[in-house]
Amino acid sequence: METLVMFLLTGSLIQGVLCSYKINLPNRVEALKGSCVFIPCTFDIGQNLKNDLTDSAKRKWFKGKTLQFDSSSPNNGPLKGEIFGTATQKNCTTCFDNISQSHKGSYYFRLEGSDTLQYSYKEPKHSQVQIVVLESPPKPTLRVFKDQQELMKMMEVIEGSSVNLRCSTKIFCPSRPPSLRWSSSLNENVTEKQYQNQTELISDLNLTVSHRHHRVTFTCTATHQLQQPITTQESWMLLVQYAPRNTSVTINPAGLVLEGRSVTLSCSSNANPAVNYTWYRDTNGLLNPVQTGPNLTINDTDSTHSGQYYCTAENKRGTQNISLLLDVQCFHYPSVLLGAAVIASVMMSVCIMKLCYERKRKEKPSETTSGLILTHTTVALDNDGQFVDVNNGMPSSTALSAPESLHYSSINFINTEPPSGEIRGIASLTSEYAAVQDHPAGAAENNNSTSEAEPKKQKMTAEITDTPSEDVIYENTSHRYRQKEPLVSADCR
């Protein structure tokens, strides 16, 4: 009986001692390959062993039966790092450096003090920590709150609301924490607020949304400091409901609206949700609805379609109106034809005047002319003494029988190629009237002649009778053909 009582008492004492051993640590921690891993940890022992716990007690970590870390030699085991606090503070928080995939697995904590204080905090009585090694950091977490209520993605907010965007990322290594940065497709400066705890870095972005934020993407970028920085990011597109803005009206075709043509009035607006368009016409101060929809088409326009038109853009967030004055112009065909006829008449008159001027200018004698070449000349004189024929500068045989007198005649010089010679007139001035005198054979030549006369042939000379300054002599010269010579007419009387 006494033996049984002693056994029960001893069992109770042992159970009390065992129940006083406790440890607090997470079941799972994530480590980033190449970075460090942080394991928050505290432990406790029985009250009867407090005197056995000193700061010299060893705090160790085991993976299975293999020692991985010893606080007495932190840089000698498979895992190197630092354990924080002291044993008497009952602190087992540890940071392991330069984690690799070989370090993943389940770990437990062991406390070694005096001979009576040797204890392993392992399963099944105590929890162990599972180290998971990640090849790359995860994306940051992005959440949106409106009035302290979390919004789901693609949910819309109303213009003017206050919105909080919260971005958080895990801190794998407290000694080398990541950084967070905000950006947006709106390209405007944003104000953020950052804070952190043992495991997370958090950044809050507060703003009052407007129509400018509709479909704007906000991006949170996390940068983790490893041997080379690694960045990850998460985005959120804001959807904002707002009333119609920047409503406008256009006319197609642009420009003057002519009677009988078709015209289309188009209305557009910027809004979310989509707007409903209604067209009105101002009739004696009253707005009468004409049509719904963004486009108003009027076929075969006339003056009755002129007037003020209004487009109303409306959604559940508001309404905006815009007006347009339509002026249909009447097209008068007779007036157009009359105007075209007047223009054509003026142009024809200008052409006729120009042509007459050119002809008159060509017929006017030139005061700078030094001579005149008369090519292939024929002067005709009939029996009544009206015309004299001259061929190649010589009178015809019929002209020899005419009395020696002064005649006036019409002389036509035709621009054709002469067979033998030409008559040359030399003068500084020319006249429309000339004196023609027939000299019999053997008569003396005029002193102004430039070539010798042929034997026994008559010569004809002509001099200007109405020009007192100089004489003009026509005589035989050597033939010199000029193409396209002008016609010269002289009235003889």
Q: For residue 273, say if its preceding peptide bond is cis, omega within 30 degrees of 0.
A: yes
Torsion of CA 148, 149, 155, 156, to 10 degrees: -40
C-alpha gyration radius of the chain: 61
Both tokens of residue 451?
């070539």
Query: Using CA atoms, how far apart are residues 255 and 270, in angstroms rounded to an integer?
Result: 25
User: Phi then psi for 400, rounded to 5 degrees?
Assistant: -70, -25
Question: Distance (Å, rounded) from C-alpha 431 to C-alpha 213?
Answer: 97
The domains spanning 18-134 and 141-241 adopt the same CATH topology: yes
What are the residue ranges spanned by the domains of the chain? 18-134, 141-241, 253-329, 332-364, 371-491
Q: What is the DSSP letter of 172?
A: S
- pLDDT tens digits along 254-278: 877 888 888 999 999 999 999 999 9
Q: What distances in angstroms separate CA 182 from CA 29, 191, 216, 226, 233, one per listed residue?
A: 27, 9, 13, 21, 10
Quickly tell me which residue has 């924080």 as its tokens. 84
State pLDDT tens for residues 362-398. Answer: 765 544 444 444 444 444 444 444 444 444 444 444 4
Question: Domain 141-241's class?
Answer: mainly beta
Going from the first residue of the chain to its last (493 residues), give the mean pLDDT of each consecutive group of 10, the final group possibly shorter.
37 47 94 93 90 92 95 92 94 95 96 90 92 95 93 93 95 91 85 88 94 95 91 96 96 84 93 96 88 92 89 96 88 58 81 83 55 42 43 44 47 47 43 46 41 43 45 43 41 36
CB atoms within 10 A of CB 167: 26
DSSP secondary structure string, 13-46? HHHHHHHT-EEE--SEEEEETTS-EEE--EEE--
pLDDT of residue 47: 85
Residue-level pLDDT at 238: 95
- Residue among 163, 55, 67 nearest 109 (CA): 67
pTM over 0.85: no
CATH number for 253-329 (one of 3.40.50.300, 3.40.50.620, 2.60.40.10, 3.40.50.1370): it is 2.60.40.10
What's the confidence (pLDDT) of residue 445? 41
Name which CATH class applies to 18-134.
Answer: mainly beta
